A and B are shown apart, each in its own frame.
Chain A
Amino acid sequence: MSAAPVAEVDLGDLGFGRGAHLLVQRALAGLPPGGRLAVSGRDPALRVHLPAWCRGRGHRVEWPDRGEAGELVAVVVRGSADDDRWFGAERAGPAQPSALSSRPPARWGLGARGALLEAGGPEARFDLDDRDLVWADIAPHLYAQAAARQWDPQTAVPWDDQFALPADVEAAVVQVMTYLVENEQAALVVPARFVGRIHPHFREVVQLLAVQMADEARHMEVFSRRALLRGTELGTSSAGGRQSLFTLVAESDFALASFLLSVLGEGSFVDLLAFLHENAPDPVTRRICWLAMQDERRHVVFGMAHLEHQARLDPLLRDRLRAAIHRRHDALVDTAGLNADVFDALVVLAAGGWHPDDVSAGFDRVQALQHAMDQGRQRRLVRLGFRPDEAAALSTLHTRNFM
């Protein structure tokens, strides 16, 4: 045998059928290419398996001279394939979200952020790859909060509480629930259309949207379940309402979709859920509206955070947001907007009785709700940099369907 080995490893009775390669690999890792490792061991198949394993990995094997010491099987001369594989490898950015890439390259693709990426592999097309467009520093915090506050629809709601409502009040609840289900359906589909387009480098945003979708899935479940708690049929769904939701789902620009859905739609929805929580005629309706409202607030916070960030960097963003409101308004101008059955049902719930004074009071409360929604929209628009008078004008153009 030529030069003396610089390292040795004793495999004992361990064979390659049970992981001996791990010990050999570990010992070789400490050597440079050309470095020599003396391998000894007692597994009867070692003399066959060691060279076969080395061959496939580009290591050379030297055999000891006859009569050389006892359990020495062979000397492995480290090849360069292990190093060559990692030539040109790069880290996919930092592991922590503190110094994210402003434009992560397509070649990072589905590699874990911060991982050492072997060169080569597919160029994955994630077209939402601009940090300023998708990121918000609050995203990791919001995700953690959202993950911690997931609730179980089975146990979080008092489904078995005893209550009985007059038939027309129950019908009003069913109508409102029907409306809520279809709105939540749209609120699930909108982020779903973007999750697969966001570069995984911004994984906390992807995670947050995924939880947001899970939130909406639960909302759909509990509102459906409440609708069918006492009966077997849902209420009505108006063509105008569906048209309004469709314009949300059809928006393919991430910033504009977040704006229309989270800032304007879900923002108004939070007010609606607060109203329903306050005016709910039964404990189940009250509870599910409260639970959904907590989740929706989080959705609004994220939508606002990343749009505020973007608006600071891009003075033209407001023009696009303004145009989006106008475009949606124009698309819906010939539709009825809110389903009249929904409006009436809200009045019935707020009235709490059939005396003309009750109905009048209920009507006032629904008008107060609409006013609160309008005020909320204006506040959020101002935070995004719109002048107050323009915010007021834009708010009035928001869909009459609330969402």
Chain B
Amino acid sequence: MPAPTVLMGAVAYDPKVVTIWEGFRAWLRGRGLDFDFVLYSHYERQVEDLVAGRIDAAWNSPLAWLRAERLATANGTAVRALTMRDTDQDLTSIVVVRAESPVRQLADLAGQAVAVGAVDSPQATLIPLGHLAAAGVTVDVRRFDVGVGLHGDHIGGERDAARALMAGEVDAACMIDANHLAFVQEGTLPPEGTRIVAQTARYDHCNMTVRAPESDGVRLFGTLLLGMSYADPQVRPLLDLEGLTAWRDGRTTGYDALAEAVDASGFYSPDGRVTATDYRP
């Protein structure tokens, strides 16, 4: 009997993506799964190919997950989140100001210049702007479009927003919690130079999206991913590169805030078409 197969899509937001998935490929093949991957230059085509059945799995951003779900529903099929990284769960985004800023709370930001990441960044644009909108605060959005189509995977937009804040070009900046810590530790932001004025509710990030019902190959893929151990020296460097210590079962309970932001901003239509006017991946 031939080995079960899986063809997975991943977005090439960084050269390390090749190292990671070539390494995982060797590991997965060594365990009886005929696994291969294709690289996409942005998430939109990857999602379309998943729903059209051209690939079996898509290593998706949260925004790509939402679109996959909508496209599948629209054509009468279904997708599900097979796995996700431990580090994809319970993230938050924050809004920071300079330490000496008169801004004390979210409402003080009304009419102020707020730096965000790329147009399609869930964590640095869509979710925090949704948070501001939900609080009834209208701001002057300054976008830093780095890596459009990569759904915020490229850290450049967030870093540029942080730099703009410290340069005094904007009054506030939005970023994911871990990047605020990273920017402080790397020196982009001085340790006591910023103050956090808002934090979103917890949400989830990437997941391994697959079509339901799953093939034997996809089921085996999920089992093998969940079995990867940080104690295994062959995969540990790859897990470090991919930024996780363990794969978890996929869950889809952490995408509500993003879905609301997508609807409110008209980024995707309910049937999964790209409707954002200034988004050209």
Q: How far is the CB of A13 from chain B (nearest CB, A)?
A: 10
Known A-B contacts A58-B86, A81-B245, A85-B236; A17 and B184 likewise in contact (beta carbons under 8 Å) = yes
- Check B229 against A84 for contact (C-beta < 8 Å): yes
B154 close to chain A: CB less than 8 A: no
- Check B245 against A57 for contact (C-beta < 8 Å): yes
Contact of A84 among B180, B184, B192, B231 (CB under 8 A): B231
A103 close to chain B: CB less than 8 A: no
A367 close to chain B: CB less than 8 A: no
Q: Digit string of B186-198 for contact with A (CB within 8 Å is 1, else 0)?
A: 0000011001100
Q: Number of contact residues on A: which range applies?
A: 20 to 34
Contact residues, A167-200 vs B (CB, 8 A): none
Q: How far is the CB of A247 from chain B (nearest CB, A)?
A: 45
On chain B, the residues within 8 Å of A52 by CB distance are 177-178, 180-181
Known A-B contacts A48-B199, A120-B236; A56 and B243 likewise in contact (beta carbons under 8 Å) = yes
Contact residues, B136-164 vs A (CB, 8 A): none
- Check A17 against B192 for contact (C-beta < 8 Å): yes
- Check A45 against B237 for contact (C-beta < 8 Å): no
B233 close to chain A: CB less than 8 A: yes
Q: Digit string of A86-115 for contact with B (CB within 8 Å is 1, else 0)?
A: 011000000000000000000000000000
In angstroms, Cα B192 to Cα A119, docked, is: 39
Contact residues, A51-68 vs B (CB, 8 A): 51-53, 55-58, 61
Q: How far is the CB of A87 from chain B (nearest CB, A)?
A: 4
Known A-B contacts A15-B191, A84-B229; A58 and B196 likewise in contact (beta carbons under 8 Å) = no
In angstroms, Cα B185 to Cα A39, docked, is: 20
Number of B residues near A (Cβ < 8 Å) is: 28
A314 close to chain B: CB less than 8 A: no
Smallest CB gap from B199: residue in A: A48
On chain A, the residues within 8 Å of B185 by CB distance are 16-17
A118 close to chain B: CB less than 8 A: yes
A241 close to chain B: CB less than 8 A: no
- Check A51 against B177 for contact (C-beta < 8 Å): yes
Contact residues, B190-212 vs A (CB, 8 A): 191-192, 195-196, 199
Q: How far is the CB of A285 from chain B (nearest CB, A)?
A: 57
B92 close to chain A: CB less than 8 A: yes
B263 close to chain A: CB less than 8 A: no
On chain B, the residues within 8 Å of A360 by CB distance are none
Known A-B contacts A18-B191, A80-B230, A87-B231; A49 and B180 likewise in contact (beta carbons under 8 Å) = yes
- Check B178 against A88 for contact (C-beta < 8 Å): no
B256 close to chain A: CB less than 8 A: no
Q: How far is the CB of B179 from chain A (nearest CB, A)?
A: 9
Q: Digit string of A33-77 for contact with B (CB within 8 Å is 1, else 0)?
A: 000000000001101110111011110010000000000000000
B234 close to chain A: CB less than 8 A: yes
On chain A, the residues within 8 Å of B17 by CB distance are none
Q: How far is the CB of B86 from chain A (nearest CB, A)?
A: 6
On chain A, the residues within 8 Å of B192 by CB distance are 15, 17
- Check A79 against B245 for contact (C-beta < 8 Å): yes
On chain B, the residues within 8 Å of A61 by CB distance are 90
What are the 7 A-B residue pairs with the smallest beta carbon separation, nearest first?
A120-B233, A58-B245, A17-B191, A87-B231, A119-B233, A17-B184, A84-B231
A residues neighboring B (CB under 8 Å): 15-18, 44-45, 47-49, 51-53, 55-58, 61, 79-81, 83-85, 87-88, 118-121
19 A-B residue pairs with Cβ-Cβ distance under 8 Å, sorted by A, are: A15-B192, A17-B181, A18-B191, A44-B196, A47-B199, A48-B94, A49-B177, A51-B90, A51-B92, A52-B178, A52-B180, A55-B86, A55-B87, A55-B91, A56-B243, A57-B245, A58-B246, A84-B231, A88-B231
